[in-house]
């Protein structure tokens, strides 16, 4: 039986917002803004990209997290990671770090470089209620590369075509970095009923129906459909993430993502009283 493709449409287009975070790091925030506060199951998506050391040199000094995961993707540059349980390491160009904050971590992320281009993304993945107090862990790995017909794909998480990559989320998750030259089409199949976003970090792309997504914008795709298709109108860099929605209550405050306000208050109290870190983060 021939499977008929139904392409997902663009449900909304949201601009990235220039913000400062950490000790003054300049970021472009796509999720976690007044325009797009939460895209279930993604609470936050930041892009850091600058060749001016003043935009990143102060880094992210020690700060707490609880209740979710982070996936940091370093396209260019180096970041040094440290946490209060003794885990440490360096994230280099082409590398990724998956962190499960779980029951609680206190960590820092500081640029190891003093000049040059620093470029990457950090995506937060909400954890299901039953996993919010799970044991913390870290995992460092590299992107899986695929190049074909002037299309370059970096598989960051999940499965794509015949390629398999790490997936430490508590649900199915696909995360890819796609590089297209002007005039190239890109399409792939994916499961129905998943939340999907496309970020145009560089360039300009067009979805069916003459829907154009400019650089610095995020497109939220419709839930229905079993395929994605777009065309590059300029040389483009596109970040795509897809995962099923949790459909659970969410309560968030700064570095904590929980299900209720009471759990947020408890996280704040635990941090203030030195009880946030309950277990050493494993390096897996």
> Which residues fall in the annotated binding site for Fe cation?
63, 65, 107, 109
Burial letters 194-219, b for 16+ CB under 10 A, else e: bbbbbbbbebbbebeeeebbeebbbb
**Residues 29/46, Cβ–Cβ less than 8 Å:** yes
Coil, strand or helix at 108? strand
How crowded is residue 44: how many other Cβ atoms within 10 Å of its Cβ?
A: 22
Please tell me whether the peptide bond between 41 and the residue prior to it is cis, using omega within 30 degrees of 0: yes
The answer for residues whose C-beta is within 8 angstroms of residue 240's C-beta and 6 or more apart is 174, 175, 176, 178, 196, 197, 198, 199, 228
Q: Rounded to the nearest 5 degrees, what angle is found at the Cα of 127, between the Cα atoms of 41 and 89?
A: 110
Give the Cα separation of 40 and 194 in Å (integer).
10
Give the Cα separation of 247 and 206 in Å (integer).
30
SS (H, E, C) 42-65: ECEEEEEEECCHHHCCCCEEEEEE
Backbone angles phi, psi at 31, to 5 degrees: -120, 135
Known binding residues: 63, 65, 107, 109
| Cα–chain center distance at 195 | 13
């Amino acid at each position: 039986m021939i499977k008929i493709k139904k392409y997902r449409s663009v449900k909304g287009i949201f601009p990235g917002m220039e913000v400062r975070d950490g000790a003054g790091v300049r970021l472009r925030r796509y999720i976690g803004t007044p325009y797009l506060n939460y895209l279930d199951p993604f609470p936050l998506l930041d892009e850091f990209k600058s060749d001016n050391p003043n935009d990143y040199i102060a880094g992210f000094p020690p700060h707490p997290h609880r209740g979710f995961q982070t996936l940091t993707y370093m396209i260019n540059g180096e970041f040094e990671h440290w946490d209060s349980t003794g885990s440490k390491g360096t994230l280099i160009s082409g590398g990724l770090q998956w962190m499960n904050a779980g029951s609680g971590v206190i960590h820092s992320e500081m640029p190891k470089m003093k000049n040059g281009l620093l470029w990457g993304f950090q995506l937060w993945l909400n954890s299901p209620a039953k996993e919010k107090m799970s044991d913390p862990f870290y995992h460092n790995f590299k992107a899986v590369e695929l190049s074909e017909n002037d299309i370059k794909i970096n598989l960051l998480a999940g499965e794509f075509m015949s390629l398999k990559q790490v997936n430490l989320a508590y649900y199915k998750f696909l995360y890819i970095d796609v590089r297209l030259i002007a005039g190239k089409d890109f399409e792939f199949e994916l499961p129905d009923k998943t939340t999907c976003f496309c970020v145009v970090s560089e360039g300009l792309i067009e979805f069916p129906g003459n829907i154009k997504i400019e650089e610095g914008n995020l497109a939220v795709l419709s839930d229905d459909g079993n395929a994605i298709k777009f065309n590059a109108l300029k040389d483009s860099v596109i970040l795509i993430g897809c995962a099923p929605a949790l459909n659970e209550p969410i309560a968030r405050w700064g570095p904590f993502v929980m299900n209720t306000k009471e759990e947020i208050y408890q996280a704040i109290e635990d941090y203030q009283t030195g009880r946030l870190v309950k277990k050493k983060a494993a390096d897996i």
